[in-house]
Structures are given as structure tokens and as C-alpha cells.
Structure 1
């Protein structure tokens, strides 16, 4: 059995994760993704790491089968393998679990004894959470809401928890004439979003605001006249401590959006399908017992949306285990 190709295994995924995580720390992964042909000198210039180090790194990636050699003659050139994006997606789950959530897992006993103090003492890295979530999301939970929004051709899109602005920029590229508003608690993420919008030539179509999404309960001006309001993995941050605020926020979204269309992408606490069960259970356990968050079931979300004034609620299963897209309209 030693010579049989067994496809993706724990050891092959671990090896890929090590190399891709090193590349992420070097800052070279996006360069690889966006380049048809790669050489060590160009990659070194893109990330600021010494060329000799990048040369050795690219050689290891090629030996792992992650990138392909185009020309072995110095300077060697490479291109990413056909399964590179799929591998990024698979590694994203492993990296989110064991790197982004490492402060929680490594201190599980302390969380069990002094939970509130441990949450303050061992915060997760926002940068790691964002990057590993992106690696998971680009194939697992971004495409479905993006396709749904494009099909509706909205003129104004509001993104709650807009981060560094990637979602809105992609939407506006696909929907000519549309405008967008992004709201995020992080000032640094908002600054990145403003810069990204400028780089994309969309500053006149995009507005990014640093604020908690809860402000919309008292001042709904940012969502007024929106065709689509999108909330990706952000609503559960209000539960259970701010459940009344969540209910008021849902009512505000229903009242102030022109078409009253709200798209929520979030996780459910328990999944029934075998392919979903392990990750969904772990995701729920971490959020419930380490972050003091409560995830809602499909039935609980449906009830809340109906109570908020929406008359139609449709639910779709995402490729992300435990992930659901809820589309609510008047």
C-alpha cells in the first residue's frame, strides 16, 4: 500500500498547509495566485523577502506538487498547479482551525475554568482570522451570495461587516452602475477598504464607514434605499448578549431597504449531513464555549425574520459545512 496514490490525506494536507502558511507569512501567496509565470526575483520584489529564500521556497513548492516547473534553467520559472485554488480552500479550514483558533485551543483548560478572563487574555489574531476565512470562503461561502446578488442587479448594496472591502468591490465590478456602502467595526479594515476602492478606481461608487452594525438601529441612514443588505458571518456576534438589538436591526433592514431584501450568511449549530457534521460541531463548540456566542438554527432564523416583517424567507445550504444563506424579502 505504500506506493498507492491515496489522494488528499492528513499528511499531504499537513505538508501543503506548512508550505502555504510559510508563503502567507512571506506575503507571496497572492502574487502566486495573480501571476501566470513566476520566478524568484519577481516574487522576491513583490514581498520583500530575500531572493535566495524565495528561490528555495519555490523549489519546495514545486517538489510538493503545489506549483509546476515551466523552465528548470536558471532563473527557474513556475506556474501554480491546476488545483492551487482548491488546495488553498482545503488548507484554509486547517489553518483557521489550528492557527487562527490556536489561542483558544492551546488554553482550553483555562477557558473551562475562567472563561471571561481567558477571552480577554487570549484573543485571536484578527488578521489570521480574516485571511484564513478568505481562504475558506472564496470557494465555500462567497460564490452563492455573490451569484444571488448579481442575478438581482441591485443599484445599491450595503455590506454589514465589510472588512477590507473585497466583497463589495467584486460586486460592483460585476454590476455596472451599482453603488455600495460598507460598515465595519475595525478602523484598520475600513482604511484598507478605502485604499482598495481607490486602487480599483471605485472611490466614487463606494463608501466605507467605521462603526458597529448596531448603530443602524438608531440611525438607518446608511441602509436607506438599499436594494440589497448583505451580512456575512457577522450577525451571530450579537448573540446572545444583544439579541434584542439583533431583532431591532432586522426590523430596520426590513423597513428601510427599498426592496427589503436581506441576505444573511451564517452558520447553524447542528448539521445533519455527514460531510458537514464534524466542522459544524467544532465551529459551534468554539463559538459557544470559547467566544460566548450562540448560533441560531434554520428554524430560529426563519422565525426572527418573519417577526421582523419579512414575508418570504428562503434558505440554501452552502459548500461551507454548517453554512447557510438566508434570503429574506418583503
Structure 2
């Protein structure tokens, strides 16, 4: 399997304190450029002027636009002159990997900035941290679009579904794409985050598919028996399987999925597993951020063998496992109910 190179700041080849600091600033600036659409504008138009955002509710002072892009010039992502910006030598790689940066700084920025607070046992009760779940949903879609979703499309093309439920549906784009590829398919989305439910519902309506795809607020640890779950033959779940854990809870969740989807024939579960290699110069993008953020949240990250044990205990047979380069550590388990 060919590995696609990831973005590396051109000025940060050695781990000096200078480069560490500048890199952290560049991460925040890149995340902001993603959310504000500056990166998309550069991709589409090849050049943006600092004074382009002078109209409407999304007006940005030209000095602020330049200030956001300046760290990206340091990183080799853009090139600036007095009035405008153009893609730099590192732009294409950074654009491809933009989801990782937006996930870290946009989706989990408040969590990681409050690491000293959430680390203390006395503070770890109730809802002790905050994440921007809309940013998490959008960034997860960006990460998955590179490789994961292509595999899903191939699997579903080979064995077309009749009705699909996406657990942790996020932005809803997976269900929209599946419904677009398979006109007769009915879709149901479930997500625990109200922001994601709102986002996906709006996406379904905008795509003209609200009559074919519905969305529900729900927790996988307490999945209800909805009438809409009848007839679902394919269940999907991407980048949230680790929320099933620890082990005993995971087994319960996996059994519950079998119960509430009486007609399920396959379960396509994709998640990032915990690295079992010590970090070093060759540690890939996302791995450290993924494990750092989830440690702060108190989320158990399983290994591949942990998952296989849970499948066996909960009545799921794993027919195949596909590995991903992007995201690193990503696995797609193709499951069927055990006879």
C-alpha cells in the first residue's frame, strides 16, 4: 500500500523550542483558515487578497487576514506579498491534511488548552470538558474523505444496501453520498451531539433528501428501539467506535446493536486504534493528538486485538479487516452477526 506524504512545516525540520512554538501557532492559524474558508478560496482561485472579506456578516479586517496567513507563510503553506496570498510549496499537502489540524485546534482546542484543569482527579466528574462537536464532525469528514469513504463506496457498490443506519453520523455526508449512489436506499443517522444532529439535518434538507434520510439524537450506550430501525440491513460507524469502550461497555453496546437492528446483515465499523509503538521521528500525523486528547477525556482506546476479543464476546463475526494509511492506525472491520 502506497503511503501519501503528509504536511511537514518547512521551517520546523528540527525539534527546537523555536520551531515547536512557531509550529503551534501555525496549527492554530491553519485551523482558523480552514473554518473561515481561506484555504478553500486559495484552492479554488489560486490567490486571495487581504481585503477580499470586506462585505457582509463575515467581514474580516485585512490586517487580521494577513495575521492569520503569516504563520502559514512561515510553514511554507502560502506565499504573501503586501496585498495578497498565493499557495506555497507546502499548500497541496497541507490542504489534503487540513482535517487533522481542524480536528485538533478547532474541535479539541478548548479541551487541550485546559489540560492542566481536566487532568486533576478532583475536576474529572460530570461533563468536565468541552469540545466543538460541529468542528469535530466537519474535520472527521475531511479526514475520512481522503481514503476511508472510498473504501465504503467500494464495499457498498459490490453489495448494495437496502437501508443504512450511520451511528455517529456527524455532518451527515456519508448518508447523503450513500443515498446518492444508491437511489433506492433509505437512511437513518444517529448522533449524541446536538450540534451534529442539527448540522446533519440541515445537510439532508439542503441535499433534498430529508424524505429519505432522517436523523435522531441518541447515545450508542442506550440505543432505543426505533420503528425506523426495522429493515436496516447495513449499519455503519466511523471514528467513534472507541466511545463504546472500556471492554465490558463495548460488549454491551455491540450486543445492543444486534438487538435494536433486527434485520442487520452487516456492520461496517471503522476506527483508529491505539498505537503500540513508542513515539519517535517517524510517528505519523494524528497519532499523538488523537491519543493525547482522548487521554484527557478519559476515553479507553482499544488495540486491534482488543476489538477482536470484543467482537467474539458480543456475537459478531469479523469477515475482513482493511487497514488505512490515512488516518494512521485506521482499521475497517467488516462484521456480520454470528450464527
TM bracket (short chain): 0.7 to 0.9
Report how far residue 55 of structure 1 moved. Answer: 5.6
Provide Cα deviations, 1:62-104, integer angstroms capped at 9, x if missing partner: 84543468xx898x58568433423414534753797254145
> 2:231 & 2:283 partners in 1: Cα distance?
37
Can you give the 5+ residue segments of structure 1 that lack an aligned partner in the other structure? none
Counterpart of 2:116 in structure 1 is 106
Looking at structure 2, the residues matched to 236 and 228 of structure 1 have their Cα atoms a distance apart, in angstroms, of 20
Q: Which has the higher helix share?
A: 1
Change (3 A) 1:170 1:73: farther
Conservation of the 8 A alpha-carbon contact between 2:103 and 2:135? no
One of 87, 96, 101 as aligned partner of 1:91: 101
Question: Contact 2:192 / 2:217 at 8 angstroms: preserved in 1?
Answer: yes
CA deviations over 1:157-177 (Å, ceiling 9, x no partner): 210011221222233333343
**Are residue 245 (structure 1) and residue 255 (structure 2) matched?**
no
Cα gap change, 1:197/1:265 in structure 2, threshold over 3 Å: closer, same or farther? Answer: same
Q: CA deviation at 1:229?
A: 0.7
- Match among 287, 290, 296 for residue 290 of structure 1: 296
| Distance in 1 (alpha carbons) for counterparts of 2:135 and 2:52 | 25
Q: Which runs of 5+ in 2 are unaligned?
A: 1-8
Partner of residue 29, structure 2: 19
Partner of 2:185: 178
TM-score, with normalisation over the residues of structure 1? 0.74
Deviation at 1:293, TM superposition (A): 2.7
Aligned residue number for residue 126 of structure 1: 133
3-state SS of 2:225 partner:
coil
Partner residue, 2:4: none
Write the distance in 2 (CA, Å) between the matches of 1:13 and 1:144.
Answer: 33
CA drift of 1:234 comes to 2.5
Q: Give the root-mean-square deviation of aligned CA atoms.
A: 4.0
Q: 1:91 to 1:103 in 2, by over 3 A?
A: closer
2 CA distance for matches of 1:35 and 1:278? Answer: 25
Quick check: 2:129–2:297 contact (8 Å CA) kept in 1? no
In structure 2, C-alpha distance between the alignment counterparts of 1:265 and 1:105, rounded to whole Å: 28
Per the alignment, residue 226 of structure 1 pairs with 232
Match of 2:328 in 1: 321
Instruction: Tell me the CA shift for residue 235 of structure 1.
Output: 3.1
